[in-house]
Amino acid sequence: MAGIVAFVYSYEKKSQKAERRNNYTLTQEEENVLQEGDIILRHGFGLISDAIVQYTKAPYPISHCGIVVKDSSDNWAVIHTVSNTLVEIDGMQKDNLKQFVRESKPNSIIVTRYRFQNEQQRQRVVEQTYYYLEKQIPFDNQFNSADSSQFFCTELIWNVFYHAIGIDLYQPSPQYNGMNFMPFLDEKNFTVVLK
């Protein structure tokens, strides 16, 4: 048991050091392609992030996601949900885009855009995202997608799209489940705008 604890401690210390040294940012050209309602995916630092990448086996190393919005000052931000085992605030939160990217492994950001039928759908997605932020829904540490009183990151996006525009992102394929990033990369529904 002591060996496992030492491994985890060492792994996390190395990850924290790498994150502190990280100066990953998006260029102005990359930011210029963003639109509200885009899905932003990343590979974060740490043992949990690396374990999620291994578990999901997505075509890109992804461990977390959120929805791109504009804040009250018209700056880019990301609304997402995170466990208080990793950050100070539990559940729903809004981070400025630069912070969200800085907490990502270099060159791991992927942004996808749903093929909205119209601008009203995009606006409803943004409004639903802010609705969940205002409700301060806690993080779902049980990863139970059948319970919508708490959300993990992919569950948040599924609920936003389902309740805003009636789209079930996990229906296109039986292999999709709540712990899977693949629906946000499905070319039938999404376009990759940045990777």
The pLDDT profile of the chain, 195 residues, written as one tens digit per residue, is 666 667 666 777 777 777 788 889 999 999 999 999 999 999 999 888 988 898 887 788 999 999 999 999 999 999 999 987 767 788 999 999 999 999 999 999 999 999 998 999 999 999 999 999 999 999 988 888 888 899 999 999 999 999 999 999 887 565 556 678 999 999 999 999 999
**H or E element in which residue 76 lies:** strand 76-82
Residue whose C-alpha is closest to residue 153's, from 75, 49, 50:
49
- Rounded to an integer, what distance in angstroms lies between the CA atom of residue 84 and that of residue 22? 22
Domain positions in the chain are 23-194
* Tokens of residue 182, six digits: 């693949």
Fold of 23-194: endopeptidase fold (from Nostoc punctiforme) (3.90.1720)
CA distance to 2, 12, 58, 95, 170, per residue, from 83 (Å): 25, 16, 22, 14, 23
Q: Are 43 and 105 in contact (CB under 8 A)?
A: yes
pTM: 0.91
Amino acid at 134: E
